[in-house]
Amino acid sequence: MNHPQLAYISFDVVPAPKGAATHIEAFVKALAKAFGQTKLITVSPTGEQCDRENNETQISHTALPAIGKTLIHRALHFRQQLKHQLQDRYFQAIHIRSIYEGFPIALNKSKYCDRLIFEVNGMPSIELKYRYPDVAGDRELMHKLLAQEQICLEAADLIITPATVTRDYLLSRAISPDKIRVIPNGVNTEIFTYSPNSSISTQIIYFGTLSSWQGVNLAARAIALLNPDIPAQLKVIGTGSKRQVQALKDLARKLGVPRNVTYLQPLPQNELVAAIHASDAIVAPLTLNDRNLVQGCCPLKVLEGMATGTPVIASDLPVVRELGRDREHFFLIKPNSVQEIADAIAYLRNHPSLREKIATTARRHIETHYTWEQAGTALISAYRKYWV
């Protein structure tokens, strides 16, 4: 394989059962299809460097180790490995997703590439405190994070972000609107197939991470509120630390519904879709906080759920509203309200015609506006404007 002229670098494990990995794979495939040989550099899940080449897709994938006790130590180790990987290499364009891999490149852009593309899905200065609460009071660390973010933002020739809320946040940081493009997430409709459930049981599903901004604890409390009048079941499928998983189990036990709230590790996508099809509703109870309201996001679980024929119950937030309309593409509820989650579950259970309407119109909406093919087309269009 000849030397690629495009590199996509991310401080993430790929493949992995997370939305970030799904997004990365979709974007890299689109870039390779449009521009030819593409270098993908990610984090190794084993701690050892791994190199793979796929001549058919024209993607050369190197997974670098990121070893350390803390996130910062892992990021610094990854940066060191990345420095060696990029030594004496030069690309027409490098695509980054965070400061963890992007900061050293932004500092020395002319050494590594002609164009720098910064894909902003989240900012450590906002998100890190939810994973490590103690850092919220560390002013020195917050200052460093903000400074490194700003350097990456200003060095970038093109900034891609999945939500208008995130775009507005970047504008508040004095970033020129001319170099920001909003490209929402997409769905693989061949994997997330349409199969509406006509049962009258109350099997509820949540899939995604157990991060506090997702509101999984609110869903568990809603299940307790419904029981015993409505014997609802909540199945939680996704990634979480041992502490997060134990906290969810402890909460269910405290609420008296330990058998009604179950947790499963991430499943292969075909098994996840089967679990969604066996459910009566999907919950996405995003909470009121700066991660969702200020930074913004494009909740992939909402989009993927909309494709399946299982109605989505989601928090009424701007990041959700920009994806569709209430009681047409999903069922919106007041954020942070356990009572409204419970009421929505009961309402959909008692109104099968509304469930059917949401299932049908949501699937059509995804096929029309939110596929990975459409996201890839928008990505290539942005590249051609700012790079070629």
**pLDDT tens digits, one per residue of 313-336:** 999 999 999 999 999 999 999 999
Stretches in the chain below the pLDDT threshold 50 = 1
**pTM of the complete model:** 0.94
37-83 residue pLDDT tens: 999 999 999 999 999 998 888 999 999 999 999 999 999 999 999 99
- Compute the distance between CA of residue 144 and CA of residue 254 in angstroms, rounded to an integer: 40
How many CA within 13 A on the CB side of residue 205? Answer: 27
Cα end-to-end distance, the chain, whole Å: 22
- Compute the distance between CA of residue 232 and CA of residue 216 in angstroms, rounded to an integer: 15
Alpha helices in the chain (DSSP H): 19-35, 71-86, 99-107, 109-112, 124-131, 139-155, 164-172, 216-226, 242-255, 269-277, 290, 300-306, 318-321, 338-350, 352-369, 372-386
The pLDDT of residue 52? 94
Percent of the chain at pLDDT above 90? 92
- What is the identity of the amino acid at 197? N
- Compute the distance between CA of residue 240 and CA of residue 265 in angstroms, rounded to an integer: 8
352-383 residue pLDDT tens: 999 999 999 999 999 999 999 999 999 999 99
The pLDDT of residue 54? 87
The pLDDT of residue 1? 45
| 338: number of Cβ within 10 Å | 19
The pLDDT of residue 388? 52
